Amino acid sequence: MASDCEPALNQAEGRNPTLERYLGALREAKNDSEQFAALLLVTKAVKAGDIDAKTRRRIFDAVGFTFPNRLLTTKEAPDGCPDHVLRALGVALLACFCSDPELATHPQVLNKIPILSTFLTARGDPDDAARRSMIDDTYQCLTAVAGTPRGPRHLIAGGTVSALCQAYLGHGYGFDQALALLVGLLAAAETQCWKEAEPDLLAVLRGLSEDFQKAEDASKFELCQLLPVFLPPTTVPPECLRDLQAGLARILGSKLSSWQRNPALKLAARLAHACGSDWIPAGSSGSKFLALLVNLACVEVRLALEETGTEVKEDVVTACYALMELGIQECTRCEQSLLKEPQKVQLVSIMKEAIGAVIHYLQQVGPEKQKEPFVFASVRILGAWLAEETSSLRKEVCQLLPFLVRYAKTLYEEAEEANDLSQQVANLAISPTTPGPAWPGDALRLLLPGWCHLTVEDGPREILIKEGAPSLLCKYFLQQWELTSPGHDTSVLPDSVEIGLQTCCHIFLNLVVTAPGLIKRDACFTSLMNTLMTSLPALVQQQGRLLLAANVATLGLLMARLLSTSPALQGTPASRGFFAAAILFLSQSHVARPTPGSDQAVLALSPDYEGIWADLQELWFLGMQAFTGCVPLLPWLAPAALRSRWPQELLQLLGSVSPNSVKPEMVAAYQGVLVELARANRLCREAMRLQAGEETASHYRMAALEQCLSEP
């Protein structure tokens, strides 16, 4: 009775009667031979992709992992049966099981990854149908594992990346599947892939680059889309760069449709971000290629942003922004630039028009779009332009400043979302692991250099002040400063943090000089002054941070002149510590250096200052001038300077070197400090006289100092 009902039941459940008979035979098999025969029938009756999940699970319940494991590892096949046939059967069963995501993560599948990987590169008859079927099933297994959340990690650990590289380079059966799976693994776990299989991946990159350079058909456009995936997070091999540049030059030098041109622009952007202009050859061909790149990028930006209502291909335009940044860098490079002066002039004019389009686009951005990654990318390229050029498009820039301040404030207040925006921008067209300048996680850091220039000009400065930019900059500076304070590992901080702090100091210096009333009335600058005072003593002692210390010392000295009536500056421990540190910075800049064959030494830069004096000297002279101005305003400062022995040591230094070795501007700076200290305090005058101050003043023609010391 039951047997009469079974066909009807199978039909009702949608079961395959033939498969059911084979599964029954499999369950009733009494030895390996019978089980092997039944398995052949099962695999013949159904393909993994032709069955539903329930049937797949029933096959697994009937078969399990034990017998497939034996098939994969056996070294003794029955007479007349090639050993790879057994392995092919085992892989076919695993492929069937792996179609179930739950089974694809089963430990019995994951521990087969090393074995499966070896099948990809195993030698054999390329026309053997069973071998080809086994390779297809192997790729199906590995692809199924790669599709699970932790699958890529297991595949990488199991040596699959190297096996896939070798399979692709061998160009045997299924090599296209190897490439597709490699692309998926690199997209999912790029860093880990390169860490485990860098030599093999570089070999693939060399092969793809060579193919790209030689390609004369449509495959070169497909390679444009593929190659960015294989650019390493470390240095790109020179031979690859040569092939990639040559291939791009041929493509971009031709008349193309947008679908052909856009992948080439994105590949060029990746190379520009990773290598700057190092991948472009020097000479006429290189300069023409770079000019072409920037021209095409600017045209694309204008076409995308000037026409209202046009759908913007954000990934392409973001790539064009990266190429424009490369153009800006080369146009502002004084030495070893790829471009000649006429080319620079022409490119600046073209980029100006593209930046105008960017400004036009940003003027249309409403509050609802401010957190979109493409807006962030557009602000980034505008920031790069303003860092070098603020005189052109001045009216348009001034009109946009209120938006830029609000935008920067919004992202500053939501810093976590800003970091995520930076990642999204990088993913638009540039891999975040590609070497090259880091993409800052906040809009304010992008705008700092441009704002530094704009705060010198009356119109833009008034707009920035009106929109609250100074208060925002103070908050930003204090927040960034916390990252460099004790308790934080400064060794892992990107250089951009310290550069951002220095640029903030430059902006504040501009405001001190051009808007002193703002410094006196805005409470945020009092907080800033307190931070500068407490931070400088430790900062001047740190190796490699002299330039930042110079910025902090000079800014603090200039602000102290304006805030001299503040209680915090009336000889408090913090104020005394700050001025002691400032004296240390100012006093250690120069030393007496012996001259061979001469009895007299010469005034020379101390070793720590010598290498960065070009960046430091303006701050040093400004700091000397500011310190001089503080002396009459702070009665306690002259006695403190005397206790530090700075005036005595300064006179001793001048007395030990040849006056001819001291430049006039140095003489003027030293005299300014000494005169104010002498005027402010009788004990200072006496100490200077004891240090042969009058004689030294006469030698250096310091008339003001000589007169001051001659008085009672």
Q: Tell me the two tokens of residue 173.
A: 């059966």
Virtual CA dihedral for 39, 40, 41, 46, nearest 10 degrees?
Answer: 90
Per-residue pLDDT band for 269 (boundaries 50, 70, 90) equals: very high
Better-scored residue on pLDDT, 187 or 16: 187
Angle at CA of residue 393, ends 387 and 398, nearest 5°: 80
For residue 164, what are the contacts with CB-CB under 8 A and spacing of at least 6?
Answer: 117, 120, 178, 179, 181, 182, 185
pLDDT in tens, 415-428: 755 555 555 665 55
Per-residue pLDDT band for 44 (boundaries 50, 70, 90) equals: low
CA 307, CA 292: separation in Å to the nearest integer?
Answer: 23
* Closest-CA residue to 29 (of 54, 64, 56, 1): 64
pLDDT in tens, 427-450: 555 544 444 444 445 789 999 999
CA 637, CA 641: separation in Å to the nearest integer?
Answer: 6
Amino acid letter for position 528: L
Please answer whether residues 640 and 695 qualify as being in contact, where contact means their C-beta atoms are separated by less than 8 angstroms. Answer: no
**Helix 546-562 vs helix 495-514: angle between axes, to the nearest 10 degrees?**
20
- CA terminus-to-terminus distance, the chain: 132
pLDDT in tens, 613-650: 999 999 999 999 999 999 999 999 999 999 999 999 99
Residue 276 backbone dihedrals phi, psi, to 5 degrees: 65, -130
Mean pLDDT of 565-577: 96
Residue 223 CA, distance from chain mean position: 25
pLDDT > 70 fraction of the chain, expressed in percent and rounded? 85
Amino acid letter for position 171: H
Distances (CA, A) of 119 to 81, 165, 167, 172: 18, 13, 10, 12
Mean pLDDT of 256-281: 91
Residues facing residue 604 across a β-bridge: 591
Mean pLDDT of 263-283: 92
pLDDT in tens, 134-185: 899 999 999 999 999 999 999 999 999 999 999 999 999 999 999 999 999 9
pLDDT score at 703: 95
